[in-house]
A = this chain, B = another copy of it.
Amino acid sequence: MSSVAKKTAGTGAPETGSSSQATAERIPAAQRRELILEAATGVFAERGYAGSTTDRVAKAAGISQPYVVRMFGTKETLFLEALDRAQGKLLRAFRDVIAAYDAGELAEELQHLDPAAGSGRPGQLKQLMAIAYADLVADRGILMMLMQAFVAGHEPAIGARAREGFLDIYRLVRDEAGLSPETVRDFLAQGMLMNTLIGIRLPEVYEQDPTAEELLECTLRSKLPMVLKASKAQRRAG
């Protein structure tokens, strides 16, 4: 039992093509880790912590379930790492906007802002960050991952991390963008509304329901077309 039928029977082609390969391509653990976290983010975002299985994450990542468990130890640890990753991406997106604004690199974007919402640095940054947030909304993974953590507060470890993460975001917007607490509150509130509209999949009924249309247009504004497009793409993907 050697030297014959080493990997796949029949053709010598490695099975990197489509789904359900017998054995995944060998790649370094660090890269595999990131692939699993990416897959886990999508799965957890869609189905929540309790509703997700390590096997579904494994299938989404193209590997076997035991490998997922061995690499992260427990499902909870996997969730927490995916959560940290998502929070990090959100913080980075906000910091990038602030840095670009302060470097004067957003002259073009400033033309499209609403002057009524404030023409100083805080007012403009608030609008620019809202746009950055809507860009992330289109993804559906990052922000719904956070949202799922916010409603999983009964799991002690997840609740604690979610609290810390939310307060981190609050402080970033308040201190680095320089918004007043009330303005930060309104900014976060708009974000939570966007999350909710995405969570209930309102874009999917945009064309059939005038009320949904009005609420989406009023909330997402210029970012609506992009979100609708992403919604359709993700429905095709399943």
- Taking Cβ atoms with an 8 Å cutoff, the residues of A that contact B are 46-51, 144, 147-148, 150-154, 159, 162-163, 166-167, 170-171, 181-182, 184-186, 188-190, 192-193, 195-197, 199-202, 205, 209, 211-212, 214-215, 218-219
Asked if B159 contacts A151 (CB within 8 A), the reply is no
3 A-B pairs with least C-beta separation: A50-B51, A192-B192, A189-B189
Docked pose: A205 CA to B50 CA in angstroms: 25
Asked if A150 contacts B199 (CB within 8 A), the reply is yes
Docked pose: A148 CA to B162 CA in angstroms: 16
Asked if B214 contacts A181 (CB within 8 A), the reply is yes
A117 vs chain B, min Cβ distance (A) = 12
Asked if A202 contacts B163 (CB within 8 A), the reply is yes
* Main DSSP-derived SS at the A contact region: helix
Given A167-B209, A189-B193, A211-B171, A201 and B50 contact (CB-CB distance below 8 Å)? no
Asked if A193 contacts B185 (CB within 8 A), the reply is yes
Q: Please give, as numbers and ranges, the residues of chain B lying within 8 Å of A159 by CB-CB distance.
A: 200-201
Q: Please give, as numbers and ranges, the residues of chain B lying within 8 Å of A181 by CB-CB distance.
A: 214-215, 218
Asked if B170 contacts A211 (CB within 8 A), the reply is yes
Q: Please give, as numbers and ranges, the residues of chain B lying within 8 Å of A163 by CB-CB distance.
A: 200-202, 205, 212
The interface centre, meaning the residue of A47, A151, A153, A182 with most chain B CB atoms within 10 A of its CB, is: A151
A146 vs chain B, min Cβ distance (A) = 10
Q: Please give, as numbers and ranges, the residues of chain B lying within 8 Å of A182 by CB-CB distance.
A: 218
Docked pose: A211 CA to B173 CA in angstroms: 12
Q: Please give, as numbers and ranges, the residues of chain B lying within 8 Å of A50 by CB-CB distance.
A: 47-48, 50-51
